[in-house]
Amino acid sequence: MKYLRPNEIKEIPTYDNWEEIEELTLNNYKIKRQNGSIKQEGYDSKLCDFSKLSQIASNEEVASILKLAKEATFDEDPDSVDGMCSHEFYLDSPDIKNNNTKYNNSIFINKIRSKLKNIVDPIINERINPYVRMVYPSDDKEHDCTACYCFIRKYKPNERVTHATHRDGHAFATVVMSLSDYGKDYRGGIYVATAERYKSYIALNKGDAIVHKHDLLHGVKVKNDGGERWSLIIWYKNSINCVDYSKDWYKEKAHNGEAVYQSLYANHVGGDNIIMWHKKAANQGFTNSMVKLARAYLKRLPSNLEFNPNEAERYYRLAIKISEDPHAQYGLAEMILCGLVKIETNSMMEILKIVINLLEESAKGGDVFAMFNLGIAHLYGYTGIVDMELAKDWFIYSNLPEGLHVGSLYYLEKDSKISNDLRERAKKLGFGTKWRQEARQHTGLGGAGGIDINLPWPEMPNGTKPEIF
């Protein structure tokens, strides 16, 4: 039987549905803009708008920013989206303004931060702020869009090269300005998505920026082939004092029946209302809510729902039917291995065949845990044959620190340099830290945690079982 290989997964296409270029003059600064949009998930699919600003910063300004950024020490605390080291450097935030010690405040780092702000602040205040306030206007001064957080993120070979699919639910608006050239300095980059499986890269060159609201599904995937991608990110609040009004953003649109906002609002309301709002979103075809409900019925997420594998299976299968949701495919594979789904066979090999097929489809859609477990399947022979080469490929392709660590073991005696590089990269993403396991259990698309990296694989005839990470 032929099994899927990582190099057979389709490349993410480049977004090409831009409107005509417009030229705007804001604050005596000429801005070239292209508007774009992408469908949101759900039966009554709405469009999610975003815009691309060309060279909002000059090549000289970008070069100056990059030179300083490469001298800075980047944060390595767990990222809230994927539970790996964040690799961020904050220029500004409420914590920095209040002299909070959350960030590195050494004399050296503060000097770099100050120099960076001298370059970046005029770009934000004179060019980006006027645009953001024009496209997202407020009825009163107090709720003007305000740049509350500003930081630099790096994607480098043998470090972080991905940022999992997510929504910036805490930010009223987001601006991502590229400090690198698409297709030249790096391949891949930031993408926008209708759902986890359906993505399109946004081509940004140095000084270009994408501007979007909190409802845009997006992520980053940079090819680990020697290129580097650096970006400046600004998170806006609709408050001049950086007060978090996100619950209010969601409430109105949730009550108006928008599935995305019903799902986002669910995380703010607490108690039984969480389930009610996720069910409202699920009833409109929003598969992320279906996945969360399935995990809630399996008692993987906190709720007052009774344990009900039949309902969990129903939601997983519906999410698969609607959008081939990779997280639902992974969840269904887990349920089958746990014996919670009725399968018309008593043959363990036939059951494993079904599970591996689900994992392959999940991996095609971007689920990194599925990729890791395909590595396990081929390493331990759950396919009927041990294939260490293919196992290694899946472990590394997952870009998970645990997968990179296992990949390093494969090369231990074959190529010490590759082995060391993979091991160091795993460490740079959080492998071996006290926080990594807990962090990964609380992450996932839209915060849909409640799973862990190891599927409940059965014991092999020789008594072996996969190592638990």
Which tens digits make up the pLDDT trace of 66-85?
Answer: 999 999 999 989 998 999 99
Q: How many domains does the chain have?
A: 2
The residue type at 103: Y
Q: What does the pLDDT read at residue 8?
A: 97
- The answer as to whether 163 is a domain residue is yes
Query: Is the pLDDT score of 400 beyond 80?
Result: yes
- The answer as to whether 463 is a domain residue is no
Which tens digits make up the pLDDT trace of 83-121?
Answer: 999 999 999 999 888 877 677 778 889 999 999 999 999
Q: If phi over 0 gives left and psi between -120 and 50 gives alpha, with beta otherwise, what is residue 212?
A: beta
Q: Tell whether 24 and 165 lie within a shared domain.
A: yes
> Of the residues 225, 244, 263, which one is the last residue of a structural domain?
244
Please tell me what DSSP assigns to residue 142.
G
Q: Tell whether 268 and 349 lie within a shared domain.
A: yes
- The answer as to whether 307 is a domain residue is yes
Confidence of residue 417 (pLDDT cuts 50, 70, 90): very high
Strands lying side by side in the sheet with 217-222: 162-166, 217-222, 188-195, 198-201
> Of the residues 244, 260, 289, which one is the last residue of a structural domain?
244
The residue type at 304: N
Enclosing domain of residue 176: 6-244
Query: Is the pLDDT score of 446 beyond 80?
Result: no
Q: What does the pLDDT read at residue 449?
A: 64
- The answer as to whether 28 is a domain residue is yes
> Of the residues 229, 244, 259, which one is the last residue of a structural domain?
244
Q: Tell whether 254 and 240 lie within a shared domain.
A: no
Collapsing DSSP to helix, strand or coil, 100 comes out as: coil
Stronger pLDDT, 460 or 63, i.e. the higher one: 63
CA distances to 370, 405, 426, 429, 447 from 440, rounded to whole Å, are 14, 16, 14, 12, 10
Q: What does the pLDDT read at residue 445?
A: 60
Which tens digits make up the pLDDT trace of 258-292?
Answer: 999 999 999 888 778 999 999 999 999 999 999 99
* pLDDT average, residue stretch 202-215: 97
Which tens digits make up the pLDDT trace of 210-264?
Answer: 999 999 999 999 998 889 999 999 999 999 999 999 999 999 999 999 999 999 9
Q: Tell whether 169 and 37 lie within a shared domain.
A: yes
Q: What does the pLDDT read at residue 447?
A: 47
**Angstrom distance (rounded) from CA 160 to CA 110:** 24
- Whether 253 and 210 have beta carbons less than 8 Å apart is answered as no
- Whether 321 and 442 have beta carbons less than 8 Å apart is answered as no
Buried b (16+ CB within 10 A) or exposed e, 200-219: bbbbbbbbbbbbbbbbbbbb
Stronger pLDDT, 198 or 45, i.e. the higher one: 198
Rounded percentage of the chain residues whose pLDDT exceeds 90: 82
Among 99-113, 182-196, 428-442, the range with the most confident prediction by mean pLDDT is 182-196
Mean pLDDT of the chain: 93
Residue 20, domain CATH: 2.60.120.620
Q: What is the CB-side half-sphere exposure of residue 287 using CA atoms within 13 A?
A: 23
**Angstrom distance (rounded) from CA 113 to CA 151:** 10
Residue entry with tokens 């395909």: 374
CA distances to 38, 133, 201, 252 from 21, rounded to whole Å, are 18, 20, 19, 33
Q: Tell whether 257 and 175 lie within a shared domain.
A: no
Which tens digits make up the pLDDT trace of 125-143?
Answer: 999 999 999 999 998 999 9
